[in-house]
Amino acid sequence: QKEVEQDPGPLSVPEGAIVSLNCTYSNSAFQYFMWYRQYSRKGPELLMYTYSSGNKEDGRFTAQVDKSSKYISLFIRDSQPSDSATYLCAMSDRNQGGKLIFGQGTELSVKP
């Protein structure tokens, strides 16, 4: 079983839709959960950072962590064409020197 699994998509939605992106993981030691956005041939851009379980909201973005199910989500409300990118989940545990384990990334396209 892969440590972090993420559906690569592609996912295509109309402008204004609510987008749900998800990752599952197998390592119960993970405590830090991140979502990055990556445009083609660019570096990952940190969107959200969550420690342990719970929800975190930042503008149109909401991150959720359910440690009991080993499942994390990123919701994007009122999606815009500028949100079109690849979204990467990443996670870490405190005993691994900051090593992030990334998902495959989900390619999102928001159509005007």
Which residues are CB-neighbours of 19 under 8 A, at least 6 positions away? Answer: 11, 13, 75, 76, 79, 83, 108, 110
CB of 43 vs other proteins, minimal distance in Å: 4
CB of 95 vs other proteins, minimal distance in Å: 9
Interaction site with other proteins (CB under 8 A) = 32, 34, 36, 41-46, 49, 51, 88, 90, 92, 94, 96-105
CB of 17 vs other proteins, minimal distance in Å: 27
